[in-house]
Amino acid sequence: MMEARLRKTFPAGAESRAFALDAQFEAEAGVTVLFGPSGSGKTLTLNCIAGFERPDEGRILLNDVILFDGAAKVFLAPQARHCGYVFQNYALFPHMTLRENLEFGAGSMKNLERHKRVSEMLERFQLLEVGGRRPHELSGGQKQRGSIARALLARPRILLLDEPAQGLDAVLRQELYAILREVQRDFPMPALLVTHDLEEALELGDQMHVFREGRIVQSGMPQAVLDAPASVDIARQMGVFNLLAAEILSLDPGRNISRLRVGEWEINGVYYPGHLKGDRVTLCVVPGQVRVAAREGYPPANTMGLELQHAVAGPDRARLLFQGGLRAELPRTDWEHIAHAQQFAVEIPAAALRLVKG
């Protein structure tokens, strides 16, 4: 278990604005995702936990060991914290071979034990054949695996991962995700994963904290946060929603339905407790829940006749952009059946419409 309560402020500079980190959270064994845009305080949080930055106030507790306590003037040095850190740029020493980098990470082990443990790690991460190469001779995936192996050699009590998949293509990302799942299975400990990639958060995370301007604005399981973003800003930050300005025309709690005006269209929604007829609200819907068909005649309920502005067909899915900025995503095979159409009927199921706070 890791518990952190952190406060750290930076005054405005010549080329930067003032910034304040004010975050409190816990992390158990498993992957806790720190999610948010660049500059929201995620990496600063990791650096405070690792001991590379000293908070102004707060407390950091790892397995009942105090790493930092502002009131008690406790501040353990980084090397005494038992944190395994996987840096965004790998941080492998360029003048050392990969094996030598791992030996450095093994710390004060005796020579025979160090050699054995390093060889085991190189084998586990499929790096034995490249152990004699220097970092510039390695691929991005090899450097990333080497960085994780080095972090684990010191037998850390917590693993800190700063954008570990950055710069990797889709295939290498999936390989990295598989490795991280193995690490969690074989080395049970808390892991903090910094990312701004929602798919990565959903793929790896057990818990997620959404950062915005130095504060945690929503917490929960990644899928639960996706299903119910706490605000328009958070929904926009995730980058996966259509955000629709709407007016409530009617509400029927008995039938659990509402009638909404979205632009020039009227559509059905579910009943939204706490709202009244005439309220202006923001709705969000995931593009994958928007249904698209070739238009035939007048569109039925919850279906709008919209002009297609752009379509991109990938290997598995097609992404479509309609007038008004509405995005849809559907299986490529479904798209191929209707791609020839001149007009499209776009349906937003009532259950897919989520109301978010402004």
pLDDT of 39 higher than 70: yes
Q: What is the mean pLDDT of the chain?
A: 90
In the prediction, which pLDDT does 166 show?
84
Per-residue tokens: 310? 């752009």
Distance (Å, whole) CA 80 – CA 157 = 11
Statement: residue 330 has pLDDT above 90: yes
pLDDT on residue 342: 84
What is the rounded average pLDDT of the residues 10-32? 90
pLDDT at 207: 96
Between helix 111-124 and helix 140-153 the angle, nearest 10°, is: 140
The amino acid sitting at 79 is Q
For position 256, what pLDDT does the model report?
93
Tell me the per-residue pLDDT of 110-149, one tens digit each, with 9 for 90 and over.
Answer: 788 888 889 988 988 889 889 899 999 998 888 888 999 9
Task: Say how many residues make up the chain.
Answer: 358
Which pLDDT tens digit goes with each residue over 171-181?
888 888 998 99
How would residue 309 be classed by pLDDT, with cut points 50, 70 and 90? Answer: very high
Report the Cα 117 to chain-centroid distance in Å.
Answer: 32
Q: Where are the domains of the chain?
A: 2-229, 241-356
Concatenate the DSSP letters of all residues of 280-325 into one string: EEEEEE-GGG-EEEE--SS--TTEEEE-EEEEEE-SSEEEEEEGGG
pLDDT above 80 (res 331): yes
Its pTM stands at 0.84
Residue 34 β-bridge partners: 194, 209
Q: How far is CA 265 from CA 207, 216, 352, 355, in A?
A: 38, 36, 17, 17
Rounded Cα gap, residues 29 and 50, in angstroms: 17
- Alpha carbons 116 and 123: distance in angstroms, whole number: 11
**How do residues 94-104 score in pLDDT, each as one tens digit?**
899 999 889 88
Is residue 4 very low, low, confident or very high in pLDDT (cuts 50, 70, 90)?
Answer: very high
Q: Considering only CA atoms, which of 251, 255, 242 is closest in space to residue 282?
A: 242
Q: First and final CA of the chain: distance in angstroms?
A: 35
**CA–CA gap between residue 173 and residue 202 (Å, rounded):** 14
Residue 299 pLDDT grade (very low, low, confident, very high; cuts 50, 70, 90): low
Residue 297: which residues within 8 A CB-CB, separation 6 or more? none
Q: Which amino acid is present at 253?
A: P
Looking at domain 2-229, its CATH architecture is 3-Layer(aba) Sandwich (3.40)
Q: Which residues of 43-63 are buried (b: 16+ CB within 10 A; e: fewer)?
A: bbbbbbbbbeeebeebbbbbe
Residue-level pLDDT at 27: 95
Residue 139's contacts (CB-CB under 8 Å, 6 or more residues apart) are none
Q: pLDDT at residue 298 above 70?
A: no
Q: What is the mean pLDDT of residues 222-227?
A: 90
Q: What is the pLDDT of residue 153?
A: 87
Confidence of residue 42 (pLDDT cuts 50, 70, 90): very high
